[in-house]
């Protein structure tokens, strides 16, 4: 727990720095002003992500696969080979991306959209809620051990055996289930929500790409987990847009 408080302080400082440097005084004021109107979606986002995190921490982290077809267990040898190809120094980079930059990305994307595009912000929050619910259902119905926690996988637990990032990850992020990749799913939602937004969209795509490599390299997921995570993120955004178009007017009358 000694490194948890500094990590949380980093996340808070990073969010404030983003508001100051990217949004500026005018953008920050706009985000705060819009927050008064968009509080139902802010609450939805917090409940979805917070509920997912809390529920997954209470789930069994290392259980034998249930309902998963053998095809989803393929390519474990390729992950092991990937770990041997890439230099060990990348453990720090990918662990930083997985443990700290991931939640910072979700938060800063929400703030940026809140200050610049309220319609996209609503889609973002709704899509995140859908993705969180589907991820929870998948993790409950299809228990799947992470490769790093499965001795028979041949994959080295690079994140969990690191003296700094291993304990910090356990404090901040549930070891959870392997299938599908929650990080990939939610970062796909971020990338699609920022599509067409210039540098913001490019940064989101870079983070998504590095995440997909990182979760494989660290032994946290199999390739199938990542591919399904991409598809689930895309499905969540399409579903979020559909629900907003169909029900947003009715819901707006309820909270205004």
Task: Give, for all 256 residues of the chain, the pLDDT tens digit.
Answer: 556 667 667 777 776 676 666 667 777 788 888 888 899 999 999 999 999 888 887 764 444 444 444 444 555 567 777 887 877 789 999 999 999 899 989 998 999 999 989 999 999 999 999 999 999 999 888 878 888 888 877 888 899 999 888 888 887 787 778 889 999 999 999 999 999 888 889 999 999 999 999 999 999 998 889 999 999 999 999 999 999 988 766 555 444 4
Whether cis (ω within 30° of 0) applies to the bond prior to 185 is: no
Q: How many other CB atoms are found less than 10 A from the CB of residue 27?
A: 17
Task: For residue 187, report the phi and psi dihedrals to the nearest 5 degrees.
Answer: -70, -25
Q: Which DSSP state fits 155?
A: -
> From CA 205, how far away is CA 234, in angstroms rounded?
14
Spatial neighbors of 33 by CB under 8 A, at least 6 apart, are none
> From CA 193, how far away is CA 160, in angstroms rounded?
31
pTM of this structure: 0.86
* pLDDT of amino acid 170: 83
> From CA 179, how far away is CA 222, in angstroms rounded?
8
Q: How many other CB atoms are found less than 10 A from the CB of residue 176?
A: 20
How many structural domains are present in the chain?
Answer: 1
Alpha-carbon distance values, 131 to 100, 230, 243 (Å): 20, 11, 13
Radius of gyration of the chain, Cα coordinates, nearest whole angstrom: 18
Q: Specify the DSSP element, H or E, that contains 131.
A: helix 118-141
- Provide the domain limits for residue 118: 4-255
* pLDDT of amino acid 183: 97
């Amino acid at each position: 727990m000694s490194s948890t408080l500094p990590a949380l302080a980093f996340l808070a400082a990073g969010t404030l720095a983003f508001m100051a440097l990217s949004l500026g005084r005018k953008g920050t004021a706009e985000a705060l002003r819009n927050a008064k109107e968009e509080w139902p979606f802010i609450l939805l986002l917090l409940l979805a992500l917070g509920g997912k995190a809390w529920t997954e921490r209470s789930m069994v982290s290392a259980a034998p696969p249930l309902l998963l077809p053998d095809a989803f267990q393929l390519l474990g040898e390729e992950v092991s080979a990937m770990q041997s190809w890439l230099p060990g120094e990348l453990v720090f980079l990918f662990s930083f991306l997985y443990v700290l930059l991931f939640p910072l990305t979700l938060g800063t994307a929400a703030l940026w959209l809140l200050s610049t595009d309220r319609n996209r912000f609503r889609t973002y929050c709704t899509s995140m809620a859908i993705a969180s619910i589907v991820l929870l259902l998948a993790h409950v119905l299809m228990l799947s051990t992470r490769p790093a926690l499965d001795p028979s996988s041949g994959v080295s637990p690079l994140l969990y055996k690191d003296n700094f990032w291993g304990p910090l990850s356990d404090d901040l992020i549930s070891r959870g289930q392997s299938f599908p990749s929650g990080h990939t799913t939610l970062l796909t939602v971020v990338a699609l929500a920022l599509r067409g937004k210039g540098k913001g969209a490019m940064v989101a795509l870079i983070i998504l790409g590095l995440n997909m490599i990182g979760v494989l390299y660290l032994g946290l997921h199999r390739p199938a987990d990542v591919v399904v995570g991409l598809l689930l993120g895309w499905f969540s955004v399409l579903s979020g847009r559909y629900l907003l178009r169909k029900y947003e007017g009715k819901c707006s009358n309820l909270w205004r």
